[in-house]
A and B are shown apart, each in its own frame.
Chain A
Amino acid sequence: MIESKQLTKKFGSTIALNGITFTIGDGSVFGLVGSNGAGKSTFLRTAAGIYKPDGGSLLVDGFSPYADVSIRKQLFFISDFPYFPSQFTLMDMFSFYRAFYPSWDPVHCKKLCGLFPLDSKQKILSMSKGMQRQAALICALSTHPKLLLLDEIFDGLDPVIRQLLRQLLADGVASSGMSVVIASHNLRELEDVCDHVGLFHKGGVVLDKELDDLKLNICRVQAVFPPLPEDAFQGLDIIRKDTLGSLVTMVIRGDKIQTEETLRALHPIFLEALPLTLEEVFISEMEAAGYDIDNILS
């Protein structure tokens, strides 16, 4: 479990993390979203023990990853640009990590090598960006981390490998209770893999919710109603309402079936309730919270 309390990190006069407080539970896949410079990568590096917090604390299972080496044995961090020593092949990287991670599993490593189409004797730096990420993933998953920290991991991966990664992450969570934190500004990618999301903005956490809560408790309704009194929609938590001729489009917070039933009671000529994508959910929630969403997610 990651517990962040008033976590602050500064780079000179720039405040990258400004008193962040939230918790990431065990066995979850947590998506960190936010625009560039929101503090996602800084948070991951702090969680990986690379950065020392300037204020507050960040604990993994009760230990500070910066100060406590033993907890780092259970973590693995893949940065947005994974580093490999020059001249190193994948085989070299295996022996490199094997020396430092007691949990290194050569059998699992061999299995992963079979899943990812990589030449283990090729120099990693001569591989493509996506292949380098695959190499980093093989190394990471071979250590059976309890907490996997991934920064922009989908960047550069082809659809097949993305699907494979989702599968491997799901397997890891299911089989060993692995927690995964994925930072990305691509909400569509996170939607398929995360069960929990947090939105970072200017070094703070704007939103931190379970994905199901977010998605199931909100829906978009398109309907055409006969003339209705002013207070016809009273009792509904309408986040957004647009009217185009007689077509009304509303984003409504609440249970989808209940909302649909309430609206059908108004005898609509046409009614359709649609689920929202994660991006739409975020936009709606953020707008409701009064944020200028275009600036946050641009």
Chain B
Amino acid sequence: MTSTTSFRNFLKELAAVWKQSLRQTRGVTLLYGILTLVFIPLILIFILAAAWQEQNVPYIASIAAGSIRILFPLIFAPLVSIFSLLYSFLLCHYMQNKRSVDLYHALPLKRESMLLGRFLASLTVHALVIAVNTVFLMGIYIGFRLHTVADAQSLPGLILQSAGIQFLMAGAITAFTFAVIVCCGTAFDSLVSVFAINLSVPILIALCFAYIAGCLPGYTSSIAGWSSQYFFLSPYIGIYFMASFDTALLWWWIVSIPLFLGAALILYHFRKSEAAETSFAFPLPKIIIRFLITLAGGMAIGSIAQALTAANYYLWFFLGSFCSHLVLEVIYDRGFKGFSKSLIAYGAAVVVSCSFFGVVAFGGFGYDTAVPAADTVEWVEYAGNGTRSLTLCDASGSSYTFSSVVEDPQRLEDLQKAHSECVQNIRSQSYPYFYKNSLFGVFFNGYSTSPVSFTYHLKDGSTLRRSYGAAYSSYLSPLYDFFSSSGNPEENVYHIIPPSQIDRVVYVYYDVNKEADAQIEFPATLEQKTKILDVLSKQKNAEAMAAEVDTETTEYFGTLILYLSQKEFSLPAESPYRSLFPEDAKFHFPSYYQSISVDISTENPEMVELLKSFGWDLPK
């Protein structure tokens, strides 16, 4: 009974705060609504009206879809983030002002209802504005008769999805900002902290990965380059990824709202009223933010300075981290008053960064030398210079890369030997591993231009991945030899393509008489397609790598194009890749992957012989 009454009182308080908050921000809400309506539906109307002159509804539908995909990340996302920030400060600023604290904290209200009511008011405003905007967009959809076009049937879904994403991110941004404001004593410190966290976390993560990738041989990461996942504590940036339909963090943002809000409510419960107009209400957030900024600033300045001047990375790292620490400390303390005390925190950051550099320099706890014994390995997938790989999509549209595989015990032993040899080559030349190259090179290209990468699938079910970038190519000849010696069809990725997936077989060549490209389509039977794939699979990597054709001596000079079907197929029963997917997993070639090209020349005698054996005439 008591708890029911208490809950009722809580709801009453919540409703009262919610109403007051809406009332307090009605002017800003009006502005938000007007700006949104002017910038989204009105712009769309102008765009579609211009396109209307074409009198081509399907064309207008495609313009509408394209515009929505652009307008949401380009205009709606900034509006949502700006107004989320504005609402958060308008509604929570009271706790950062001594005079307003006297008013609000003396009210007969629980602090939880005071904050939650404001959060709900902020969400209500966003919901209202986004809903009105969505209604207008739907009106445009019907007004321009886009519903009559089959291709535009997905447009309402796109509008609703975009609106949902904006609302979700408005919630995440608001909850995040509330949590930061509760931690800070002034609006200025809150604003600095919001931007410090949003920028420092992704920069620090990205530069740490880049540093490891630049130093530690064989390091690879499943999170490659500028991943949207780095922005899990940066909702102000994350909204742009989400608005562009990069939904890698969708579930995180859904979970983040109760997490950030819960943190804000708990911290607000313990926040002292006298914390208003001080720098921070709690000491820990300041320590964490300063730590992040110190390290991120150091790594960023170190990387930039080294990239521009080829200077010592570590020297610039320490200089940059000290400057970042100094700047943030001066901003937070409004001067140098507490600077000498803060040097302890800087010292801690230096110790952490030195430990990080040390761990990487000395091989990351044996990461650099870890090569599994051949008898512990089930199979290995590898990709490298000259090896083939295929990209396939599953029913949900997720894409997977399939590379060459090694299962044969002897070949596994050979691989283990070759890998160990490479590891020793690298270690003897560059241990301990300090950073010498430009981080940016690794950062933007390192993952994608790795000449060699492979994944050991171990018998205990675990995997071990290694990837060696271009910087290590001079140490990798044992692995290159191993790849080029492959002649086993099972090792070649083409063996997973069912012959029935080949729709058409076309030979393209240069017609010397007509001085133009010409082509012949061969009426290939299933048996012929099987044989073509078989020859392709038997080709050693070394042969596949021999891309250069001697134009002087070659008898044939053309390309055989195997056009691929987009229909679904299962992986062959014998493929080890099957163990990575559900039993009934089906794949199809992505829309951009429409054919396989095979060079036909005297350098490729098996294929030439095979095609000739079919009685197909190959113009010379």
Contacts and interface: CB of A to CB of B under 8 A. Distances in A.
A binds B: yes
Interface of A: 11, 45, 48-52, 69-70, 72-73, 75-77, 79, 81-85, 87, 92, 96, 99-101
A214 to B, nearest CB: 31
Q: By DSSP majority rule, is chain B's interface helix, strand, loop, or mixed?
A: helix
Given A45-B273, A83-B97, A50 B106 contact: yes
Given A52-B272, A99-B16, A99-B20, A72 B107 contact: yes
A69 B109 contact: yes
Interface string B86-112: 000000000001011111011111100
Contacts of B110: 69
A100 B102 CA distance: 15
Contacts of A52: 272-273
B16 A100 contact: yes
B13 to A, nearest CB: 8
Contacts of B408: none
B463 interface: no
Contacts of A50: 101-102, 105-106, 273
Contacts of A72: 106-109
Of residues B13, B16, B105, which shows the largest number of chain A Cβ atoms within 10 Å of its Cβ?
Answer: B105
A83 B24 contact: no
B19 interface: yes
B102 A77 contact: yes
Of residues A50, A52, A73, A87, which shows the largest number of chain B Cβ atoms within 10 Å of its Cβ?
Answer: A50
Contacts of B272: 51-52
Contacts of B27: 87
Contact of B274 (A11, A87, A96): A11
Nearest to A9: B274
Nearest to B97: A83
Nearest to A79: B102
Contacts of A85: 24, 100
A83 B101 CA distance: 9
B108 A100 contact: yes
Contacts of A79: 99, 102-103
A50 B103 CA distance: 9
29 contacts: A48-B102, A48-B106, A50-B101, A50-B102, A50-B106, A51-B272, A51-B273, A52-B272, A69-B13, A69-B108, A69-B110, A75-B106, A76-B106, A77-B106, A79-B102, A82-B99, A82-B102, A82-B103, A83-B97, A83-B99, A83-B100, A84-B103, A85-B24, A85-B100, A87-B27, A92-B23, A96-B20, A99-B19, A100-B109
A85 B93 CA distance: 11
B108 A73 contact: yes
Nearest to A54: B272
A27 B274 CA distance: 30
Of residues A11, A75, A96, which shows the largest number of chain B Cβ atoms within 10 Å of its Cβ?
Answer: A96
A146 B97 CA distance: 27
B274 to A, nearest CB: 6
B108 A45 contact: no
A26 B302 CA distance: 68
Which A-B residue pairs are the 8 nearest by beta carbons? A72-B108, A83-B99, A79-B102, A73-B108, A99-B16, A83-B103, A48-B106, A77-B106
A4 to B, nearest CB: 18
A83 B23 CA distance: 18
Nearest to A102: B108
A83 B109 CA distance: 17
Contacts of A51: 272-274
Interface in B32-59: none
Contacts of B100: 83, 85
Contacts of A84: 103
A51 B109 CA distance: 14
Nearest to A41: B102
Contacts of B106: 48-50, 72, 75-77
Contacts of A100: 13, 16, 107-109
A81 B16 CA distance: 25
Contacts of A96: 20
Interface in B9-27: 9, 13, 16, 19-20, 23-24, 27
B102 A83 contact: yes
A73 B16 CA distance: 14
Contacts of A101: 108
A160 to B, nearest CB: 27
Contacts of B13: 69, 100
Contacts of A83: 97, 99-100, 102-103
A72 B274 CA distance: 18
A61 to B, nearest CB: 14
